[in-house]
Amino acid sequence: MNRSTIDLWVGIFVALGLGAILFLSLKVGNLLTSNSRGGYHIEAAFSNIGGLKLRAPVKAAGVVVGRVESIRLDPTTYEAVVSLTVSPEYTFTKDTIASILTSGLLGEVYVGLDVGGDTQMLADGGRIGKTQSAVVLEKLISQFMFERASSGSAK
């Protein structure tokens, strides 16, 4: 086999391989928009996080703006403290409401941010005051049943 033929094929092969890695990183792995390193942190406390998991998306108006960085339980208040990493190009007002939502009935659990009207913005390490916990289906059903039962007996 001729030297330059080998060189050519190896060149093609390496270029193809690196192209594949690039494809996996950009088109599949979404390297450009995920920004898991850069970004600032904000915290939010929930009474119940439901099925929220690490690295779940943080969305504002349905757009992914960050990821769930850590989840821990506050030993004094017994609330779940969720730390969010948010891309630096987005800032949120101090009265933003964080809620735990589910996309569809069986979809993934994510943190939704609803922006308020405050003029001051959340800084790195800031804390979201208003939160809405996850809707637990069992509680919802039992509440519904209880209401039906009590309204039925009142009649």
Partner 1 sequence: MPASAIADGLRRVGAGTRRVFARLGFAARFTVAVLAHSPDGLRRIRLTLREIYFSGVLSLVIILVSGLFVGMVLALQGYDVLQRYGASESLGVLVALSLVRELGPVVAGLLFASRAGSAITAEIGLMKATDQLSAMEMMAVDPLARVVAPRFWGGVISMPLLAALFSTLGIYGAYLVGVKLIGIDAGAFWGNMQSAVDFREDVVNGIIKSVVFGLIVSLIAVFEGYDAAPTAEGVSGATTRTVVGSSLTILAADFVLTVFMFRGVGVG
Kindly state the tokens that stand for 37: 């390193």
Nearer to partner 1, 104 or 117 (CB): 104
Among 7, 74, 118, 147, binds partner 1 (CB under 8 A): 7
> Should residue 73 be labelled a site residue for partner 1 when binding is judged by CB under 8 A?
no
> Should residue 61 be labelled a site residue for partner 1 when binding is judged by CB under 8 A?
no
Nearer to partner 1, 32 or 154 (CB): 32
> Should residue 9 be labelled a site residue for partner 1 when binding is judged by CB under 8 A?
yes
Three-class SS string for 30-78?
Answer: CHHHHCCCCCEEEEEEECCCCCCCCCCEEEECCEEEEEEEEEEECCCCC
> Should residue 106 be labelled a site residue for partner 1 when binding is judged by CB under 8 A?
yes
CA distance 103 to 79: 23
CA distance 108 to 121: 28
Stretch that binds partner 1, among 6-14, 41-49, 88-96, 134-142 (CB under 8 A): 6-14
* 3-class SS of residue 110: strand
Rama region for 148: left / alpha / beta (φ>0; ψ in -120 to 50; rest)? alpha
Binding site for partner 1 (CB under 8 A): 1, 3, 6-7, 9-10, 12-14, 16-18, 20-21, 23-25, 27-31, 33-34, 36, 53-55, 57, 64, 106
